[in-house]
Each structure stands twice: as structure tokens, then as C-alpha cells.
Amino acid sequence: MSTTAAAHAPHHADAHDDHAHGHHEDLGFIRTYIFSTDHKVIGVQYGITALLFLFLGFSLMMMMRWSIAHAGQPIPLFGPLLETIFGSKFAPKGVMTPELYNSFGAMHGTIMVFLGVVPLAFGAFGNLLVPLQIGAPDMAFPKLNMFSYHVNLVGGIIMFASFFVPGGSAQSGWTSYPPLSVLAAGNGQVFWLVGMVFLISSSLLGSVNLLATVIQLRAPGLTWMRLPFFTWAQFVTGFLLLLAFPPLEAAGIMQLMDKVAHTSFFLPTGLTAGSVHIAGGGNPLLWQHLFWFLAHPEVYVLILPAMGIVAEIVANNTRKPIWGYKSLVYASMALGFMSFIVWAHHMYLTGMGTRLSTFFQTTTMIISIPSVIILTCLVLSLWGGSIRFNTPMLFVLAFLPMFGIGGLTGLPLGFGFSDLHLHDTYYVIAHFHYVVAPGTIFALFGGIYFWYPKVTGRFMNEYWGKVHFFTSFIFMNLIFMPMFSQGMAGMLRRMHDGGASYAQALGPGVIHMNVIVSIAAWSLGLAQIPFIINFFWSVRHGEKIPNDNPWDATTLEWQTPTPPPHGNFTKPITVYRGPYEYSVPGHATDFIPQSEPA
């Protein structure tokens, strides 16, 4: 990593080894690190918690892949542990039963989206960086910020606890469609619904706080069109969370009432569960509408913060301004607006009429336009740049084609006639994961490597960072690319035996891909070990940064001491220019900080 530091000229202020600016009361460990109101500590809390849940969700998937590739065989190493935890009913002799597979599948999706990527992309990066990028001393409502994290943590604990209740965790998929979810035995679904209420409430509190912060606490001179694109992306994401989550929270409470109070919001007339006749009067499709009204904007809640991270890293490592900054901003707004009028393309198989399906097919095609604009701006920003191929840049460079693949493969799913054949197949899994896994998660990894020095004062190891990138890139594609072929061959998702029951119809080649994909999935898990070790080892042993701005960046978070003290800035901040003034002709350096007077 020494080459990284050596590449930077020593024209900055001296590195800050001791930033005891001002005298503050010693609050003790609990007030400082557990019940802190400092946005930076809360951002780190969100980040560590989200990474732990991502590891849990990924571990569930790796065990599911064994059942898919080797159905009916005991899971090596972890099989006896599963039998100990879940009993012989769900894991006899270490073999994953269909019920346990359904349980793991439902919780994998829930944990990865609602407890992993969203808290990391919005809670961690948003909390940590937005106040710094706008020159604010903290979030607008610090105590509300603290409360938001702890509500999220409670929701996560409830979700995790559901694994250990009688009957196991929720088994009705991460979409939780009734009447299956309402009539499912056990209390796992109740825990899922209560946990979702907490997680949604946390996101609503966080979104209100972030919106108020950006609107009210920008530094003097920081006009809207001087905001870094990362802050714009977080701002639009805040609106998506604020407007899309309340319908799902209401739906979750209604389904909870159906489950425990025997109401019939989602249970139709004439439905019989065993010997019990349901009073009915409800509509199962109402849940689907309320769920997807949140869940499609949720895709952009995942991807917009990632796009913001990519823009910051691309500008910094190409040493040139982002191409089409205003186009990026307006496209992100259009993306946010359009995301609210495409939800029913998930519901073509519900008997939707041709007029309604035509409307949603049209809006689905239109929403691809702002996505293409953003991707085009980011790709054109590379042209003519003096590119630094460090670890953060490698991750965001991989993001661009991977997100492109995810977007392009979504177009056939937006048409009703092709979605009829591809719906609920492995094609859908591949499409969605190309957007979220080698797409969003790669951008988040890039962001961790990029801003890690600002939080800790040390670089993560560059060599092991590149090992992490190349192995993850290879195995990620080996996992999801074959799934397109499996899906087009007709292989359905949510099958615990990986389609072995339909082997004669699917053909041996399609089934054999399960083994290849599973080996790649387990290899991807091993590829995360260098990152985990690097992440914690570098806190104390990583190479120290030479100054407070080791990447020669222009935005305000790099104009603070490292790590930023309480209140963030040691002097009043005034903004004089845009966020990406790199390689300005005639200037002594190849970057001009936003706070440098004209």
C-alpha cells in the first residue's frame, strides 16, 4: 500500500494525529459508542450491523445451494448443527427439508434487502457522509437518528429470533403472499411481520431526518447544483423511503391482524383451511399491490446510493469532472418518480387486463431511460481520464457493466407476453441479483475501501483488496450468468431440490449447472475472507494516511480532520464552487476543494 501514499504530493495540511479540538465531557463507553447521537458513530453502527446481517443472509444462501445441488444429502460440517438448532423435523440427520429450505429462502431475501443492503447503503453511508458533504455539524435531529438505529436493531433481533421459535421462521417467501403466509403454521410469520414494522419505522425516521438535514443544514454557498451527486442520490432515496414504506407498514399490520386477530383483510370469501372456514371478504391481490408499491421503489433505494458512490469514486479516480452532472441529477429525480408507477409489472400473472398491463409495460420501458442516462454519464466520465486503478475504482468499474446486464435482462420481464414464460424462474433471480449483487454490493464495497481512510485514518491493504475484487468478480458471474440459461429452459425458483423433480423435462445439462453455480457460491463465500480480515486488521495495522485528504478529493468530507471530531469542522465552512473541479487548467494542483475561495 506504500505506493498509494507515495503517489500523493505533500501539499496538504499536515496529518492530524491528535484532534482534541475543544474540550468535551467524557461521556463514557455506553454514551459514546452505543447510545451516541453523533452521526458518524451511528453510521458506523449501521455499517457494522448491516455487514453482520449480510454475512448471515449469505450463509443461509450457501446452505440452500447445497440442497439445490445435492438434494437429500446431509450438509457437510453444518448439518449436525442444523439438526441441533432446528430439530429432526426440519433437518433430520443434517438433511435440509423443503420446509427448512423455504424458511431459509424467505429469510435470505428479507435479511439481505431490509437488514443488509438498505441499512448499509442508506443508513451507514448516508449517516456518515451526507452531513460531512454538506458542511453540517450533525444530522438535523441527532436523538431521532440514534433512535432510528436502535429501532432497526430491534427489528433485526426479532427477525433473527424467529429462527428459534416453534415451527421456525417465516416460510412464505420474502414477498409473504397471502393466503399462504396468513395460514402458515407456527409463529415465524408473526415475528416476520413485527420485525418488518420495526424495520420500516426505522427507515421512515431516517428518511425524514436526512431530508431535513439536506434542506436545512447546507453550508453557506452550497446551492442545490453544488451538491455532490452522492448527496443528491441519498436525498432522492430519502423521498422514496418516505413515500413507499407507509403502504407496506399498513399492509404488514393488516396481515398481522389476519394472523393473530382472525380478520380477513387478505383472505377471500369461501377459503377453507383444513376444517376451518374463513369468513373472508378480503383480497389477496391487495397485499401484492401494497407490497410491490414499496418493493419496486425499493430497488432504486438499493441502486441510487450505489450510483452516488460510483460517481464520487469515478470523478476522483479519473481526475476530471463527472460528465453531465445536471443530467445525472435530473435523471435520478425522474428515476425516483417513475419508480412509483411501474409496480404492477410484477403482477402480470394475476389476471390483469390488457389495458392495465399495457400501461405498466409502457412505464417499465420508460423508466429504463433515466437509468441509461445515469449509466451513460458515468461511462463517458471515464473517457480521456487519467484513471487510477486502485481497489475502489476496480469495484465501481465492475459495477457499470454488471448493472448494465441487470438492467437489460429486466426488459423481457417488463413485457407481459415474455414475462408469462420467465416469471418465477431462475431468470428472475439472475436479473435481480445482477442489479443488487455485482451491481449495488460492488459499489458498496468500493465505497468502504474509499472512505475507510477518513473514518480510521488508515488505508485498507491494497493487495488484498484487489484479491477480494478479482475473486468476487469471477465467482459472482459464475453464480448468476448460468441462471439465465436455467430460467429460459424453464427451471422454477423456490425448489429445494433444484428442479430434480423435473429433470426429465429440463434436461441433464440444466440440472448439472446447479453444481457449478453452488461451487461458485461457496467460493464467493471464501473470497470474502480477505475482505473481513483486511477490514478489521487495517483498523490498527493498516498504512497511515499521509494527510486528511489522501485521495486528493474535492468534496467537503475531505476538508475535515481525520477522523472528523465532534461537530465535524474546526472552522466555518463556505462553499465557492461545484463538487468536481478536477484538472482545472492553470491551477497548481489537479483538484480544487469546494471550500477553496475563487
Q: Give residue 155's identity as a one-letter amino acid code.
A: G
| Cell reading at 412 | 423481457
pLDDT band at 439 (very low <50, low <70, confident <90, very high): very high
> What is the rounded distance in angstroms from the CA atom of residue 185 to the CA atom of residue 276?
13
Residue range 418-441: average pLDDT? 95
> What pLDDT sits at residue 31?
86
Measured between alpha carbons, how far is 24 from 337 in angstroms, rounded to an integer? 44
At residue 274, the pLDDT reads 64
* Nearest one of 228, 400, 448, 200 to 303, comparing CA atoms: 400
Return the number of other C-beta atoms located less than 10 Å from residue 55's C-beta. 14
Question: What DSSP state is assigned to residue 179?
Answer: T
Other CB atoms within a 10 A radius of the CB of residue 57 amount to 21
pLDDT tier for residue 7 given thresholds of 50, 70 and 90: very low
Q: pLDDT value at position 273?
A: 67
70-74, 395-399, 496-500: range with lowest mean pLDDT: 496-500
In this model, does residue 275 exceed pLDDT 60? Answer: no
How many alpha carbons fall within 13 Å on the CB side of residue 500? 11
Q: Which residues, in sequence order, are CB contacts of 449 under 8 Å at separation 6+?
A: 390, 391, 392, 395, 460, 465
Which band of pLDDT confidence, cut at 50, 70 and 90, is reported for residue 509? Answer: confident
pTM for this predicted structure: 0.92
Residue with cell string 468500493: 446
Angle at 520 between CA 516 and CA 523, to 5 degrees: 140
Q: Which residues are CB-neighbours of 353 under 8 A, at least 6 positions away? A: none
pLDDT digits over 568-596, tens only? 999 999 999 999 999 999 999 999 999 99
Q: How many whole angstroms separate alpha carbon 468 and alpha carbon 448?
A: 13
**Cβ atoms of residues 159 and 110 within 8 Å:** yes
Question: Can you tell me the mean pLDDT for 369-375?
Answer: 96
β-pairing, 272-273 vs 276-277, is antiparallel
Q: CB 29: neighbour CB atoms within 10 A?
A: 8
CA distance 174 to 180: 12
Q: Which of 117-131, 175-189, 266-280, 523-537 has the lowest mean pLDDT?
A: 266-280
Single-letter code of the amino acid located at 182: V
Name 136's Cβ contacts closer than 8 Å, sequence gap at least 6. Answer: 130, 213, 217, 218, 219, 568
How far apart (Å, rounded) are the C-alpha atoms in residues 496 and 260? Answer: 29
Contact predicate 191/161, CB 8 Å: yes
Q: Give mean pLDDT, residues 546-553.
A: 95
Residue 478's pLDDT is 97
For residues 233-256, average pLDDT: 97
- Banded model confidence at residue 19, pLDDT cuts 50, 70, 90: very low
Mean pLDDT across the stretch 200-223? 97
* pLDDT (0 to 100) of residue 3: 42
User: For 59-202, where are the E strands, in sequence order?
Assistant: none
Cell of 397: 468499474
For the segment 78-95, the average pLDDT, to the nearest whole number, is 91
Confidence at residue 276, expressed as pLDDT on a 0 to 100 scale: 62
Q: Is 551 helix (H, G, I), strand (E, B) or coil?
A: coil
pLDDT at 379 over 90: yes
Residue with cell 424495520: 199
Alpha carbon of 367 to those of 230, 332, 360, 417: distances in Å?
20, 11, 10, 19
The pLDDT-based confidence of 186 (bands split at 50, 70, 90) is confident
Burial 312-347 (b: 16+ CB within 10 A, else e): bbbbbbbebbbbbbeebbebbebbbebbbbbbbbbb
Length of the chain: 598
For cell 377453507, name the residue: 272
For the chain, first and last CA: distance in Å?
Answer: 34
Q: Determine the Cα–Cα distance for residues 391 and 206; give it in Å rounded to an integer.
A: 30
38-559 carries CATH number 2.40.50.140: no
Q: 540 forms bridges with which residues in the sheet?
A: none
> From CA 70, how far away is CA 373, in angstroms rounded?
43
Residue with cell 391487495: 286
Which residues have a Cβ under 8 Å from the Cβ of 424 and sit 6 or more positions away? 492, 493, 494
Whether the CB-CB separation of 268 and 179 falls below 8 Å is answered with yes
Angle between helix 125-133 and helix 229-260 axes, rounded to 10 deg = 140
The residue behind cell 463514557 is 28
Mean pLDDT (the chain, rounded): 92
pLDDT single digits (tens) 40-57? 999 999 999 999 999 999
What are φ and ψ of residue 277, in 5° steps?
-90, 125
Query: What mean pLDDT do residues 364-373 have?
Result: 96
User: How far apart, in whole angstroms, are the C-alpha atoms of residue 275 and residue 283?
Assistant: 21
Q: How confident is the model at residue 498 (pLDDT cuts 50, 70, 90)?
A: confident
**Cβ within 8 Å of residue 17, ≥6 positions away:** none
Contact call for residues 237 and 301 (beta carbons, < 8 A): yes
Mean pLDDT in residue range 521-541: 97
Mean per-residue pLDDT, 463-481:
97
Interval 104-129: pLDDT, tens:
999 999 999 999 999 999 999 999 99
Residue 12: pLDDT band (50, 70, 90) is very low
Cβ distance 124 to 181 under 8 Å?
no
Confidence of residue 11 (pLDDT cuts 50, 70, 90): very low
Question: What is the SS3 string spanning 393-443?
Answer: HHHHHHHHHHHHHHHHHHHHHHCHHHHHHHCCEHHHHHHHHHHHHHHHHHH
